[in-house]
Amino acid sequence: MISKPNEHIILLGGGVAGLATGLELARRGRQVTVIEKGPVAGGLAQTFEYETSAGVFRFDIGGHRFHSHKPEIIGWVKDLMGADLLHVPRISRIYLSNDGKAGGKFVDYPLQFPGALSIFSPGQAARILSSYAAATVRNRLDGSAPDVSFEDWVVRRFGRALYEVYFEPYTEKVWGISCQELSADWAAQRISLPSLSEAVKRAISPGAAPPATIISHFWYPRLGFGMIPDRMKSEIERLGGQVILGAGVTNVVPQEDGGFIVTVDDGVGQHQLNADRVISSIPMNFLLASLPADSGSRAVAENFKLRYRDIILIYLAIKASQVSSDSWTYFP
């Protein structure tokens, strides 16, 4: 986007994407207004406080961490947060059992072999290894067959037995759809180890470097992930911009001169704001519904209903300095 000095730019949505964009524009001398429907900045990246008899606890909206393979992005956030951004070692485990029920144990996550095989009976471990060997033979006989689905990608590299006992139930529980409907491209991005043979090779080779997709450390703000959007908001305001909270966008009307009139509802009344440009990070169906009816956008919005996974978060306040050494623990 090419914008001119003194342009007024309205950003719809005050999550991390909207705030980061607004901050970059404010640093370049643009007049910035960020409109956020929620009562606080950050969206799902916010941190909230909860007071109990044991003291005040801070909770993120789900588990968050910050990491990037792009040094310039890490540098951007480090410059923003200063000493409040901590470099934390990643320690994560997953609870697995050999029958999907009780009696399992915690193993490193992502799975580390051959240790992960210890949770299975000797017969199951042998089945996993023989299944992998069979998959390897099939790959050599028909290596040109494309990986279309998540299932294709995993079975080819780990064998069907390990896919059925681990990858399939965990993935379908999280995403709520068949692994045959998930893309193989997604599997390649999300699974840290390229194959079972590579996993074993790394386990028995001293000093073997971990795959690039496995991170040993991550960045986390001292008082919760919400410190990042809070700091962005403060910086925007320090540079003369506005962050309006508790205001939902009802209409975005393009003007003949190329500008826009944005109508927001703050619960008290509706207000109109003029903008030279509008940048949106709100859900697409909400944006489409806010555009003029004669543009046809609302009809498009009715058909733009993506499937999504709802989530219930349960928070426990425990009076202890530390409950576990794990950064997070998975229960598939």
Tokens of 306: 């993506």
Contact 21, 10 (CB under 8 A): no
**Is the C-alpha dihedral spanning 66, 71, 73, 76 positive or negative?**
positive
Question: Phi and psi (nearest 5°) for 308?
Answer: -145, 165
- Look up residue 326 and give its two tokens: 């794990």
For the chain, the domains span: 8-86+222-303, 92-214
What per-residue confidence (pLDDT) applies to 30? 96
pLDDT, residue 88, reads: 94
DSSP 8-state assignment for residue 15: B
Question: CB–CB of 47/70 below 8 Å?
Answer: no
Q: How far is CA 252 from CA 12, 88, 282, in A?
A: 10, 43, 13
Q: Determine the Cα–Cα distance for residues 319 and 157; give it in Å rounded to an integer.
A: 44
User: Which stretch of DSSP H or E encloses residue 80?
Assistant: helix 71-81
Q: Low-confidence residues of the chain, pLDDT below 50?
A: none
In three-state secondary structure terms, 309 is coil
The pLDDT of residue 140: 82
Nearest C-alpha neighbor of 240 from the set 11, 78, 17, 25: 25
pLDDT of residue 113: 66
Q: 8-86+222-303: what fold? A: FAD/NAD(P)-binding domain (3.50.50)
Mind giving me the DSSP string for 227-275? HHHHHHHHHHHHTT-EEEES-EEEEEEE-TTS-EEEEEE-SS-EEEEEE
Tell me how far CA of residue 64 lies from CA of 170, 188, 217, 308, in angstroms.
20, 22, 13, 19
pLDDT of residue 208: 54
- 3-state SS record for 95-132: EECCCCCCCCEEEECCCCCCHHHHHCCHHHHHHHHHHH
**What span, in angstroms and rounded, lies between the C-alpha atoms of 1 and 302?**
29
pLDDT tens-digit profile of 107-159? 887 777 666 777 777 888 889 889 988 988 888 887 677 889 999 999 998 89
C-alpha gyration radius of the chain: 24
Strands 328-330 and 92-96: parallel
Q: Are 64 and 46 in contact (CB under 8 A)?
A: no
Which one, of 198, 233, 166, 249, lies nearest residue 22 by Cα? 233
Beta strand pairing call for 217-221 and 270-275: unpaired
What is the per-residue pLDDT for 100?
Answer: 52
The CA distance from 303 to 284, in Å, is 11
Which tokens in the block code for residue 135? 């998959």
Residue-by-residue DSSP string for 200-216: HHHHHSTTPPPPTT--S
